[in-house]
Amino acid sequence: MKPFNEIYKHKKSNIAVFLGCGKSINNITEEQWKSISQFDVWTSNNFIYHDFIPDFYHVEIKPNKNLDIWTHWRHDVKGKKYDNVKFIIKDHPKRKYLLDAVGRDSKYVYGYHMRKINVKAKGITPNYKISSGNITCNCNASFTMILEMLYKFKYEKVIFFGTDLNDSRYFWSDPNIDFGGKNSRRNAKYKGERVHCNSNKNNDPNQPHTTSHLVTYIVGWNKRYMSKIGSKIYTGHKKTLLYPSIPYINILKVKG
């Protein structure tokens, strides 16, 4: 794998869109997908179940949970479609399985060194010094590392979709919706493929996501860190716990 500090050369836009795995992903219209595709698109976790191909993918999978399923989707289902995705993984001897999952022959794999602070999963306002050589995991949540990566890319705008947090459903949770969305984006070829789970850690789907405590963190990150570089985080949809603390922006009116 290549060191993380070499990944910045792949930045093609001053605007980034982060696609989470919340059920609201299925509400994105075809017109909105066209707008999203103009920008740098980031994803993580199990977004591989969707038919949209991102630019950057932070891979956080566990050997005893979704490793086998994710690896199957990467190589057997998506295959060459993912050849140009920039994979981001933790560079550590105990995480070598991540390199096997994304593929040792993948063209773009970037590794980072992680440091952990505030290991308890609770809502806090971030206040720490960002390191040039590490990516910081705060509150035991990998999403805090993605926020730091987006900050280091110095995007002017970062727009979230699918970061619902108000319940535990994913965009693939409804068995009546084929993976990839509705209408013209319905993709029957994925029907019947296995997925990791249908709600966050198999919790009650109607309960808030187990990462909902990060709302305070994300709002604080927007004010303390993004503002320092003249940047701002927005949400592209309103059915999220982030809104209105994180302002809404209409993706169709965003110019790159």
Determine the angle formed by the axes of helices 143-152 and 214-224, rounding to 10 degrees.
10
Tokens, residue 210: 């187990």
The rounded mean pLDDT for the chain is 91
Predicted pLDDT of residue 210: 84
Whether the predicted pLDDT of 92 surpasses 80: yes
Going along the chain from its start, the domains and CATH numbers come out as: 2-113+143-253 (3.90.1480)
This prediction's pTM: 0.93
Question: How far is it, in rounded angstroms, from Cα 69 to Cα 172?
Answer: 14
For the stretch 165-200, what's the b/e string if a residue is b when 16 or more beta carbons lie within 10 angstroms of its beta carbon? bbbbbbbbbeeeebbbbeeebeeeebeeeebbbebb
Average pLDDT, integer, range 49-61: 94
Read off the pLDDT of residues 118-137 as tens digits, 9 standing for 90 and up: 887 677 999 999 998 899 99
Read off the pLDDT of residues 194-235 as tens digits, 9 standing for 90 and up: 888 888 887 788 888 888 989 999 999 999 999 999 999 999
Confirm if 211 and 140 have CB atoms less than 8 A apart.
Answer: no
Tokens, residue 138: 């705060």
- First vs last Cα of the chain: how many Å apart? 30
